[in-house]
């Protein structure tokens, strides 16, 4: 056991560091459940307006308590300080609500790793499934899920109802398997040739013609840039909420990238389709193997692999080239190094390496963002 793991004192976390958003809390909860270490978060979400914890963050705290019988202090809306003490995670089936339009994919990413490491189970999550500034359900299923599989983390996902802002009221069900055969090394430093672009255009509770207009615009904007794509328009089941989404899934020889654009009132369907196409076009201009969001999200499984926390296999190393080194990425990296004996470093060309920390070694090297 290393120093980083032996320490019984709560991990002290300054929530205003770097990006200063909700991700610090969500990842701290995941890591606390996996390592058994408690934490004290202060200045929570100091860089956001309004600052402090929001209902969707509290839903993650409640979820972490439900999985482990752990305890928290200070978990209230608007709170800037929180203490969390985990219990042992119990494999099993859980039904959790994020409340009005909180993100179920973000809640899932928080609880999935502890549940998988503990032996698996199922999560039925209710709230928003397609919300701004978070992974959409389609991104989770199309991009994040295959990435997790590369680390020996398997799941089955099923969308029951889509939930859009502001009502939310969506639901998805995840069957989480125990970890199997983690790899020794994950190398995602080149995407290789482009194989396929699928345009998915969806409407929930709104006229189907909107889905056709979104996908026509996305296909045309891609064609103008020299990319050929194929489209499928689908209705999504909803309960109370209505909304639309365009999701582009780009398959490369070695990696997958995904781009979500959401409809909003007063925003033409064509603009939504073009927005998704432009995100993909920007990605194509970079040498990145992974889109910028996966670039911060992959750090958690990579760190678990490097710390030997994914089953009995020896610690492994992950190397990848994200579209951009974002502040989300660097903030997340520093957090992981607080809980686990790992080192995250970024090369001059932007390649990220997550490796076991050498005995007596310091934390990562250059970690400046490019933006
Ligand atoms: N379009 C997108 N596709 C996939 N993932 C996304 C997208 N937009 C944001 N994300 C991911 O969602 C997460 C959001 O983290 P952030 O710290 O901003 O959390 P938050 O709780 O939403 O923040 P806030 O503190 O603003 O409430 C990040 O992992 C980011 O990569």
What DSSP letter does each residue of 115-134 carry, written as one string? HHHHT-EEEEEEEBSB-TTS
Q: Are residues 211 and 141 in the same domain?
A: no
Side-chain-facing half-sphere of 100: CA atoms under 13 Å = 4
Pocket probe for ligand 1: among 21, 104, 256, the residue whose CB has the most ligand atoms within 8 Å is: 21
Nearest CA to ligand 1 atom 20: 22
ipTM, two decimals, is 0.95
For every residue of 5-71, which 3-state class applies, written as one string?
Answer: HHCCCCEEEECCCCCCCCHHHHHHHHHHHHHCCCEEEECCCCCCCCCCCCHHHHHHHHHHHHHHCCE
CA gap 58, 47 in Å, rounded: 18
Q: Are residues 281 and 322 in the same domain?
A: no
Position 138 in a domain: yes
Asked whether residue 157 carries a pLDDT value surpassing 70, the answer given is yes
**Residue 309, ligand 1, Cβ within 6 A:** no
CA 276 remoteness from chain centre: 18
**Residue 97, ligand 1, Cβ within 6 A:** no
CA gap 311, 135 in Å, rounded: 27
314: three-class secondary structure by DSSP: coil
CATH code, domain with 232: 3.30.360.20
CATH code, domain with 122: 3.65.10.20
Q: Are residues 96 and 63 in the same domain?
A: no
Q: Are residues 198 and 280 in the same domain?
A: yes
Last residue in a domain, options 86, 106, 138: 86
Asked whether residue 196 carries a pLDDT value surpassing 60, the answer given is yes
Minimal CA–CA distance to 224: which of 284, 180, 269? 284
Position 112 in a domain: yes
Asked whether residue 8 carries a pLDDT value surpassing 90, the answer given is no
DSSP 216-258: HHHHHHHHHTT---EEEEEE--BSS--EEEEEEEEEESS-EEE
Q: Are residues 74 and 110 in the same domain?
A: no
Last residue in a domain, options 86, 103, 131: 86
CATH code, domain with 30: 3.30.110
**Residue 260, ligand 1, Cβ within 6 A:** yes
Higher pLDDT, 332 or 312: 332
Asked whether residue 46 carries a pLDDT value surpassing 90, the answer given is no
Q: Residue 194 Cα, ligand 1 centroid: separation in angstroms?
A: 26
CA gap 73, 22 in Å, rounded: 17
Please tell me the predicted confidence (pLDDT) of residue 3: 42
Mean pLDDT of 280-307: 97
Please tell me the predicted confidence (pLDDT) of residue 273: 98
Please tell me the predicted confidence (pLDDT) of residue 371: 41
Position 371 in a domain: no
Q: Are residues 202 and 214 in the same domain?
A: yes
Q: Are residues 270 and 309 in the same domain?
A: no
State the Rg of the chain over Cα. 20
Higher pLDDT, 362 or 181: 181
Mean pLDDT of 131-135: 96
Assigned token pair, 365:
């090297």
118, with CB counted inside 10 A (0-12, 13-18, 19+), is: buried
- In the chain, % helix, strand, coil (3-state, to 5) comes to 30, 30, 40
Q: Residue 360 Cα, ligand 1 centroid: separation in angstroms?
A: 34
Q: What is the mean pLDDT of the chain?
A: 94
- Catalytic option among 161, 293, 328, 332: 328
Q: Are residues 82 and 104 in the same domain?
A: no
Assigned token pair, 343:
């080192």
Q: What is the DSSP letter of 298?
A: T
Asked whether residue 1 carries a pLDDT value surpassing 50, the answer given is no
Percent pLDDT > 90 in the chain is 87
Q: Are residues 247 and 200 in the same domain?
A: yes
**Residue 243, ligand 1, Cβ within 6 A:** no
**Residue 47, ligand 1, Cβ within 6 A:** no
Domain with 321, as residue range(s), is: 289-358
Q: Which atom of ligand 1 is nearest to the CA of 56?
A: 21
Position 185 in a domain: no
CA gap 86, 311 in Å, rounded: 20
Q: Are residues 266 and 217 in the same domain?
A: yes
Last residue in a domain, options 86, 106, 126: 86
Please tell me the predicted confidence (pLDDT) of residue 191: 98
Nearest CA to ligand 1 atom 27: 22
CA gap 125, 94 in Å, rounded: 8
pLDDT one-digit tens code per residue, 18-28: 887 889 999 99
Nearest CA to ligand 1 atom 3: 135
pLDDT one-digit tens code per residue, 203-254: 999 999 999 999 999 999 999 999 999 999 999 999 999 999 999 999 999 9
CA 102 remoteness from chain centre: 14
**Residue 327, ligand 1, Cβ within 6 A:** no
**Residue 326, ligand 1, Cβ within 6 A:** no
Q: Are residues 29 and 48 in the same domain?
A: yes
Q: Which atom of ligand 1 is nearest to the CA of 260?
A: 1
**267 included as an active-site residue:** no
Higher pLDDT, 184 or 200: 200
Nearest CA to ligand 1 atom 11: 134
Pocket probe for ligand 1: among 110, 134, 139, 261, the residue whose CB has the most ligand atoms within 8 Å is: 134
Nearest CA to ligand 1 atom 12: 134
Mean pLDDT of 102-113: 98
Please tell me the predicted confidence (pLDDT) of residue 363: 64
Nearest CA to ligand 1 atom 10: 134
Q: Are residues 224 and 142 in the same domain?
A: no
CATH code, domain with 311: 3.90.1070
Minimal CA–CA distance to 122: which of 161, 90, 146? 90
CA gap 323, 161 in Å, rounded: 31
User: What is the β-pairing status of strands 121-127 and 170-176?
Assistant: antiparallel
Count of domains forming the chain: 4
Higher pLDDT, 3 or 342: 342
């Amino acid at each position: 056991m290393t120093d980083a793991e032996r320490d019984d004192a709560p991990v002290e976390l300054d929530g205003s560091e770097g990006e200063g958003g909700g991700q610090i809390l969500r990842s701290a909860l995941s890591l606390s459940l996996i390592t058994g270490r408690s934490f004290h978060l202060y200045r929570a979400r100091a860089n956001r307006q309004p600052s402090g914890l929001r209902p969707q963050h509290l839903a993650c705290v409640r979820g972490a308590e439900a999985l482990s019988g752990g305890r928290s202090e200070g978990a209230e809306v608007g709170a800037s300080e929180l203490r969390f003490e985990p219990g042992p995670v119990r494999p099993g089936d859980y039904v959790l609500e994020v409340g009005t339009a909180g993100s179920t994919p973000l809640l899932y990413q928080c609880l999935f790793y502890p549940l998988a490491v503990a032996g698996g189970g199922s999560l039925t999550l209710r709230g928003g499934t397609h919300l701004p500034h978070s992974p959409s359900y389609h991104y989770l299923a199309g991009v994040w899920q295959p990435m997790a599989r590369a680390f020996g983390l398997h799941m089955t996902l099923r969308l029951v109802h889509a939930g859009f802002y502001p009502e939310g009221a969506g639901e998805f069900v995840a069957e989480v398997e125990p970890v199997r055969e983690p790899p020794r090394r994950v190398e995602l430093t080149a995407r290789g040739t482009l194989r396929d672009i699928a345009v998915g255009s969806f409407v929930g509770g709104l006229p189907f013609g909107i889905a056709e207009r979104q996908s026509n615009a996305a296909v045309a904007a891609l064609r103008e840039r020299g990319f050929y794509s194929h489209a499928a328009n689908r209705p999504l089941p909803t309960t109370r909420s209505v909304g639309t989404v365009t999701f582009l899934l780009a398959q490369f020889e070695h990696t997958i990238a995904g781009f979500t654009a959401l409809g909003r009132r007063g925003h033409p369907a064509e603009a939504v389709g073009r927005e998704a196409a432009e995100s993909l076009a920007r990605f194509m201009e970079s040498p990145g193997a992974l889109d910028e969001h996966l670039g911060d999200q992959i750090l958690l499984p990579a760190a678990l692999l490097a710390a030997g926390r994914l089953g009995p296999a020896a610690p492994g190393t992950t190397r990848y080239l994200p579209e951009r080194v974002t502040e989300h990425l660097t903030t997340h990296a520093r957090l992981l190094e607080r809980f686990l004996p790992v080192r995250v470093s970024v090369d001059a060309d932007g390649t990220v390496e997550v490796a076991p920390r050498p005995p007596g070694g310091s934390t990562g090297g250059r970690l400046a963002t490019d933006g």
